[in-house]
Each structure stands twice: as structure tokens, then as C-alpha cells.
Amino acid sequence: MEQLLELISRYGVLFVFVNVLIEQAGLPVPALPTLVLAGALAADGKLSAPWALVAALLASTIADSAWYLIGRRLGHRVLRTVCRLSISPESCVRQTEGVFERYGLVSLVLAKFIPGYSTLAPPLAGIVGTRAAAFLAYNTAGSLLWAGLPLLGGMLLHHMVDRVIGVLEGLGTWGLAVLAGGLVVYLLARWARLSRFRRALRIARISAEELQRMMDAGHQPLILDVRTNLVFALDPRTIPGAVRFHIDELDSKLADVPREKEIVLFCT
């Protein structure tokens, strides 16, 4: 933390700009501590709060606009690529689409406060064909809120921030090593869980070719098209004979289906 404070003190708003740009580009380099410390430095007269806010807003706009344009050009491939880093890629895509489907552009205002949705919201806005002016308006409002709150918090609580920095300094090298070790263990456990999930998913998955061969052989499984309304509106094509409904209706819809009936879920 002391090294981070020294970097912000030395490079000022430039460091804020780079940190926010890297995080909003999708890399796991959190900008929140930088914004809080920048606010604390501003309260001590060592940094300009308005310029720090402008730097954060500019960096966020650049990164989010790039994601927006990528979404417009590449479509759903963007969501699937980013979501591969999550524990459940399929649910990651679905949850992102579900949030945008329910709240629309308003979700961009709070997107940066929702873990996982922050990076995925801008490309999704591009995928559904949101006008650039509307995207920039809502996204700018969200960026101002996201960057302004920690800056303001750092300014109001700068004395408390100084005490936290003192405690972290008191931990010394061993304390930092323990924190780093804990982070490594967490990341390894997350990767192991992701690997197990993917192995199980490969067993349960059926390809389009396999489904076609099954149907040609006379087997007629119950095919459920559980894509979100947002995705279906973009591509209304579906498998012949598939039944469409929301995945939240699975329990009620399947209550009367014989247990020996084969069921195939068709999603994004």
C-alpha cells in the first residue's frame, strides 16, 4: 500500500488514468484502492481531485468504448471468450444477458459495481445494437458514479486511510507474504474448481451433429430452447420441434415430463 501511495504521489493523475484503463480493459488490476488513495492525497492538497476524476473518466470511456465496438463487430463470441475465465461460462453469459434484458441501458449506470458485469456490459450493449450516443451517455454516468464515490470517500476519510496504511506497514514483509500466499491459494482453488466443472460439462454436453443422428435414428428427445428473450430477438432461428421458455420455468414445465424422457437444453 505504501508503494502504491508513493506511485500515486509521484505520477499523480497519470497513474490513476493507467490503472483505471488497465482494469476496465479487463485485467485483474483493481483501481478502487488507487481512487481511494487519490482522494486521500487530494484532501491533503497533494493531488487535484477534479483532474483525477477526469483521468478516471477518460480511461474508463476509452476502454468501455473499445469493448462496445468489439461487441458490435464480433457479437456473442466476445461474451463467451470473456466468460471462459469464470467458474460457469454458460451461466456467466446468461446472467449477463438477463441483467441487460431486465434493466436495459440503465444497467450501465451501476454495471461497474457488479462483479463480472462491469467488463461484459459494454460489449453486450454493442451486440444488441445500442446507439453510440445512448451508450456513451449512460456509460459516462456510471463511470462518474463509480470513480467519484471512492475519490470522495478517500477525501472524507483520509485520516482513516492514513491509519490503515500504518497498520499495513506494521505487518512488514512477512505479513505481505502471508497475504500474497493467501491470494495464490485462492486462485489455485478457483482454477481447480473451474477444471472440475469443465470436465463435468464435457460429459453432459451433446453436439448438434450427435443430436441430429439421434433424431434421424428415431429418438425424439424433448428439446428445450432456453435462450434469453434478448438473444432470441437477435437470432430467432431454433431447432425444429424445440419448445421455447425461460429457464426459470424449468421446474414447473418439467413436472409432468416422464423421467425416462431424454431432455436436451438448447442455450446460447
Q: What is the pLDDT along the chain (268 residues), one digit of tens a residue?
A: 555 556 566 667 888 899 899 988 887 778 888 888 888 888 888 888 899 999 999 999 999 999 999 988 887 777 767 666 554 555 566 667 777 777 888 888 988 888 767 888 898 888 888 899 999 999 999 999 999 999 998 888 777 655 655 554 555 566 556 556 766 776 677 667 666 655 655 556 777 777 778 777 877 787 877 777 666 666 677 887 777 776 666 666 666 666 667 777 777 6
Q: Which residue has the cell 485520516?
A: 159
Which domain does 217 fall in, by range? 208-266
Question: Do residues 55 and 166 lie in contact, with contact meaning Cβ atoms separated by under 8 Å?
Answer: no
According to the model, what pLDDT value does residue 85 have?
A: 54
According to the model, what pLDDT value does residue 175 have?
A: 53
**Same domain for 55 and 180?**
yes
What beta strand segments (E) does the chain contain?
222-225, 243-244, 263-266
Strands 243-244 and 263-266: unpaired
In-domain check, residue 240: yes
Ramachandran assignment for 151, one of left (phi > 0), alpha (psi -120 to 50 degrees), beta (any other): alpha
**Same domain for 216 and 257?**
yes
Rounded Cα–Cα distance for residues 6 and 159 (Å): 17
Rounded Cα–Cα distance for residues 175 and 194 (Å): 29
In-domain check, residue 129: yes
Global pTM exceeds 0.75: no
**Same domain for 154 and 222?**
no
Task: For residue 261, count other CB atoms closer than 10 A to its CB.
Answer: 10
CA torsion, ordered 72, 77, 80, 186, to nearest 10 deg: -80
In-domain check, residue 108: yes
Tens-place pLDDT, residues 134-147: 999 999 999 999 99
In-domain check, residue 202: no
Domain boundary pick from 157, 192, 227: 192
According to the model, what pLDDT value does residue 87 have?
A: 46
What size, in residues, is the chain?
Answer: 268
Considering only CA atoms, which of 120, 123, 68 is closest in space to residue 95?
A: 120
Rounded Cα–Cα distance for residues 163 and 165 (Å): 5
**Same domain for 177 and 255?**
no
Ramachandran assignment for 218, one of left (phi > 0), alpha (psi -120 to 50 degrees), beta (any other): left
Question: Do residues 123 and 8 lie in contact, with contact meaning Cβ atoms separated by under 8 Å?
Answer: no
**Same domain for 140 and 243?**
no
Rounded Cα–Cα distance for residues 16 and 255 (Å): 54
**Same domain for 139 and 226?**
no
SS3 224: strand
Judge residue 123's burial from the number of C-beta atoms within 10 Å of its C-beta, 0-12 exposed, 13-18 middle, 19 or more buried. buried
According to the model, what pLDDT value does residue 187 have?
A: 65
According to the model, what pLDDT value does residue 7 have?
A: 58
**Same domain for 114 and 233?**
no
**Same domain for 42 and 162?**
yes
According to the model, what pLDDT value does residue 79 have?
A: 72
* Sheet (strand 243-244) strand order: 243-244, 222-225, 263-266
DSSP state of 87: S
Considering only CA atoms, which of 203, 245, 256 is closest in space to residue 223?
A: 245
**Same domain for 231 and 171?**
no
Cell of 88: 460457469
Rounded Cα–Cα distance for residues 264 and 247 (Å): 13
According to the model, what pLDDT value does residue 137 have?
A: 95
**Same domain for 215 and 188?**
no
In-domain check, residue 98: yes
